[in-house]
Amino acid sequence: MPTAFSKPILPHPLPIPSSLNRRPIVLAFFVFLLLRSRTVTLSKDALVSLKNSLPSVYKCPSRKKKLNPDELAKVLQQVYVDEPDGSKTLLVPYRERVIKVPIRPTSKSKFVADTPHFSLLVGTAASKPNIDLAFLAQLRAILFRIAIPSWRSSEAGIVALHSTFLVLRTVLSIMVARLDGRIVRDIVKADGKGFLKGLALWFLLAIPSSFTNSMIRHFQSLLALRLRTRLTRYLHDLYLSSNPDLRYYRASNYLEGIDQYLTADVEAWSNALSGLYGNILKPSLDLVLFTSQLSRSLGVRGTLLLFLNYYTTVAILRAVTPAFGRLAAVEARLEGEYRAGMGRVGREAEEVAFYDGGARERDILTKAYMKLIKHVNSVYKIRIAYEWTEDYVIKYLWSAAGYALIAVPILYTRTKRSLGLQTGGPLGDGKDEAVAGRTETYISNRRLLLSLADAGGRLMYAYKDLLELAGLTTRLYTLLSTLLNLPKGYQPLLVERADEICLRNIDVRIPRISKGKKHGHEDETKTIDKIVDDEDEIDVKPVENGLNDPPLVHDLNLVIKRGDHMMITGSNGVGKTAVARVLAGLWDPIDGGVSLNGEEGGQVEMPRDETEADAFFARSAKAAHTRPRPALYVLPQRSYMPVGSLLEQIIYPCSYATFIKMTSSAPPAPVRTSSISFLPVALSRAASTTTASALLSSTPSPSAAALQEIHEILEKVHLGYLIEREGGLHVRKEWRDVLSGGEKQRMGMARVLWWRPKWAVLDECTSAVSSDVEGRMYEAAKALDITLITISLRPSLAKYHSQLLTLHGPSGSEPGKWTLSRVGTAEERMSVQHEIDVLEDKLRDVEGWEKRVKELEAMLSVQEGVNKDGELDELEAEPVNGFEEEDMTASRDDNGEAEEEDHASVSVLSASEFRRDQEEYADEELESVGLSEDGFAIDEIEEEA
């Protein structure tokens, strides 16, 4: 009795070994049992536990309780939850529920260990991605250092499951091919029973086959998602690094359109890789298994022909394949440029609207889009020829080869004889059997050959995908190697004396990239044809300061003691902000050192991340204030409003969770989590869950005193009205658009007052604030013992400072000079201020006096109308200075005789005499208001005399 997948019953069936025959059945049986046991025998509890244990992508959040918007907002106020094991969990809103995502930041030592594996790309490796050793090295570094760091990781588990299903599908394909042959054989033999059996098996086989297909697709998508998540988290930790690395600040000097690298490229790479894995593994496996199956029936010659067929195909396709890798890299860059342009318009919408620059922006964006489209179009055109050749070769050449290969054993070889095709042989049952057997062999082989052609086709497609992956891999590798190899940041140095900032022999220079080209700076006019031949080298070179340029500030030596407020002034572009950049460690303090000394003789800096914040706050818990005081806080010239609530605008960069930690009296209750033990560590780690109500009850609130302080600070900066107007401190809005320019600057001052740093650099950050409010804010800051370092062009701010640093800027090849002077004692500064106030008051009246002078001059111009003979000409009748003719006439009438005399005297005065009279009159008027004729205060002139 023939079984479904056993050898055909013919005298000379396809010679397939029995071991290969039984293995698929065992495998299929195992899968079936596995599925059956999963669905039937798992108890309800086990299912719930399994559901809880699955990674969040599998998980449907608890259906027990949905949170209302208020509860959700309350839970989400704390972005992180501290776990008992010391890690953190990110809370992510999802359909009125909260999903917890465990976060383990990448350690700095990991970055250090990874750096040697990501050396900077130079030469053709950077400019012409290809499938070569360089590509393999890049792929290995990304995969095994970051994306799949260990075989115990969840990604490795997914790859294993994915591979299992891929193998299973190949095995199932062979079984289907066999069964196909057997069904047709039974039809040819008119064996109804066998046919029905075969059909039943066909349906049975369809179950694992279709299930396998959907699982392959599922694991492919899941793998892409996991790879993307791994890379994104790694890149977030690397890119958004705190002082002194500040990679997000410095990387833009080396890579253009870095947001495209960090977002779209990572996604494209993950999708390409996970898709390619399936597209290469499965067809390769198919190729090996199908070839081995076929070779048994094709003989040596047939097998050789099969390999010749492979070789010819690969040779033809290699010859016609364009540089897909490079094309993909260029496309990604152009996409990035277009996307960045769109983002810029969205960000600067108001500024563009004020200028009515829509048309100009449209031109810029259209140009970027057309560049992209032109490129994509060219790629499509290139593909026509390639795909035509590919289709011709894969579909038709392979099919023809398939026919030929099947015919070889049947028509010409000894197999022909062995198949019982001797001419003149007996007819009847034996012949039927032989025909049926040949049909079965043919159908099975044909199906295998078709599958082989399909596998070959997919491998060829995969070659193209592989080239594209090479392009994306090069981009991703470039990003990683650039970030990992950025030159070191600049630390504040030296600790000598407590409580002072020392700048010693500093040259402030503009950092420049001195050699090489930025990545992404490719010739805009480069056409697709040139891409292949292009020998341009795009490499990253370390930053070097523009040592040939004269420094903005040369040999700067300063000591800023606590309480010794300093104002930095000088005209635009002389390097005032540059000094702040050196102080904050953003720019290199060439030659000298900056020391920022804390009270205990150690450096005191802002906490960089949550972990450091904890240590920072723990250190300061013993101090008098519960909240620590950072050493330096810089308020930049352009106001920055982060995403978050009104409260988070004030406490930036502190998070709400940290704010609560500092201000709540009781520690938050531990949050209950659950995990299951039978999954790999990586999977169960991702599986901790918390019910919504547990989260809600564990969400602590800030203390009343802390909130009171926030209210008081807002009052001090005259923003108290915002709380009521906007609906509370926890309202989240796009504050960048909601607040006016002056309000944003006041918010900046509120941050300074809340943080109470020891030194605060205020860079033109009150330029839009009225001077009375500005004064009160300065006094409030000083009352909190904050030493101010103000960068400003407004002399009126000098009174709040005791030192004045004036920068003169470089001139020609001369380096920038500086002068330091003391502003004087507080009384002196106040008396100077008094004088300034008096003069400012007087200057306010200047407008009125100028108006009066103009009136008088107009009156004079009337007298210019007296003719040479001393008589008034027609002009006299014109209304003068707003007086109507009737008024003048009336006044003459009222004055009677005297008026007559005046009139007569006017008529006899010469023009010059009249002018002199009028000037004397004007002088008297000016004198009466205390000004000389030049507009200067008379007292001052007399004093000078």
Ligand X SMILES: Nc1ncnc2c1ncn2[C@@H]1O[C@H](COP(=O)(O)OP(=O)(O)OP(=O)(O)O)[C@@H](O)[C@H]1O
Positions that interact with ligand X (CB under 6 A): 510, 552, 572-578, 637
Nearer to ligand X, 552 or 789 (CB): 552
In the DSSP assignment, the letter for residue 106 is: P
Closest CB 810 distance from ligand X, rounded Å: 9
Nearer to ligand X, 520 or 575 (CB): 575
Q: Is 684 helix (H, G, I), strand (E, B) or coil?
A: helix
Distance CA 391, CA 396 (A): 7
Nearer to ligand X, 545 or 603 (CB): 545
Closest CB 162 distance from ligand X, rounded Å: 47
In the DSSP assignment, the letter for residue 728 is: S
Nearer to ligand X, 573 or 680 (CB): 573
- Which residues neighbour 266 within 8 Å (Cβ) at sequence distance 6 or greater? 228, 231, 232, 235, 476
Nearer to ligand X, 10 or 760 (CB): 760
Nearer to ligand X, 168 or 486 (CB): 486
Question: What are the angstrom distances between the C-alpha of 563 and each of 237, 496, 500, 674?
Answer: 37, 18, 10, 53
Asked if residues 142 and 230 have their Cβ atoms less than 8 Å apart, the reply is: no
Asked if residues 554 and 816 have their Cβ atoms less than 8 Å apart, the reply is: yes
First CA to last CA across the chain, in angstroms? 133
Nearer to ligand X, 637 or 701 (CB): 637
The structure tokens 């002088």 sit at 923
Token pair of 842 as six digits: 């007087």
Nearer to ligand X, 578 or 682 (CB): 578
Nearer to ligand X, 575 or 585 (CB): 575
In the DSSP assignment, the letter for residue 545 is: E
Q: What are phi and psi of 5, to 5 degrees?
A: -115, 15
- Which residues neighbour 170 within 8 Å (Cβ) at sequence distance 6 or greater? 282, 285, 286, 289
Question: What are the angstrom distances between the C-alpha of 54 and each of 679, 686, 688, 771, 931?
Answer: 9, 8, 9, 60, 86
Closest CB 528 distance from ligand X, rounded Å: 33
The strand order across the sheet containing 566-569 reads 632-635, 759-763, 787-791, 566-569, 803-811, 814-822
Closest CB 790 distance from ligand X, rounded Å: 12
Nearer to ligand X, 341 or 546 (CB): 546
Nearest 10 degrees: CA dihedral of 647, 651, 657, 658?
Answer: -160
Nearer to ligand X, 552 or 606 (CB): 552
Element (H, E) at 663: helix 656-663
DSSP 159-176: HHHHHHHHHHHHHHHHHH
Closest Cα partner for 202 from 188, 220, 181, 218? 181
Closest CB 510 distance from ligand X, rounded Å: 4
Closest Cα partner for 278 from 232, 220, 353, 208? 220
Closest CB 789 distance from ligand X, rounded Å: 13
635 - beta bridge partners?
762
Closest CB 508 distance from ligand X, rounded Å: 8
Closest CB 512 distance from ligand X, rounded Å: 7
Nearer to ligand X, 190 or 793 (CB): 793
Distance CA 449, CA 94 (A): 49
Closest CB 266 distance from ligand X, rounded Å: 27
Closest CB 737 distance from ligand X, rounded Å: 24
Closest CB 771 distance from ligand X, rounded Å: 19
Nearer to ligand X, 414 or 638 (CB): 638
Closest CB 568 distance from ligand X, rounded Å: 8
Q: What is the largest CA-CA distance in the chain?
A: 160
Closest CB 763 distance from ligand X, rounded Å: 7
Closest Cα partner for 698 from 733, 669, 735? 669
Asked if residues 469 and 324 have their Cβ atoms less than 8 Å apart, the reply is: no
Closest CB 580 distance from ligand X, rounded Å: 8
Nearer to ligand X, 256 or 390 (CB): 256
Closest CB 600 distance from ligand X, rounded Å: 32
The structure tokens 């003989």 sit at 299
Strands 814-822 and 803-811: antiparallel
The structure tokens 């090849």 sit at 813
Nearer to ligand X, 408 or 574 (CB): 574
Token pair of 351 as six digits: 């500024």
Closest CB 60 distance from ligand X, rounded Å: 49
Asked if residues 250 and 486 have their Cβ atoms less than 8 Å apart, the reply is: yes
Closest CB 663 distance from ligand X, rounded Å: 36
Nearer to ligand X, 383 or 808 (CB): 808
Task: Give buried/exposed letters for 509-519 (b at 16+ CB in 10 A, else e).
Answer: bebeeeebbbb
Taking residue 918's Cβ as centre, other Cβ atoms within 10 Å add up to 16
Closest Cα partner for 332 from 478, 208, 125? 478
Closest CB 572 distance from ligand X, rounded Å: 4
The strand order across the sheet containing 553-561 reads 553-561, 500-508, 593-596
Nearest 10 degrees: CA dihedral of 848, 853, 854, 855?
Answer: 90
Question: What are the angstrom distances between the C-alpha of 328 and each of 269, 334, 462?
Answer: 11, 10, 15
Asked if residues 447 and 177 have their Cβ atoms less than 8 Å apart, the reply is: yes
Distance CA 651, CA 661 (A): 13
Distance CA 147, CA 232 (A): 10
Nearer to ligand X, 258 or 574 (CB): 574
Nearer to ligand X, 97 or 576 (CB): 576
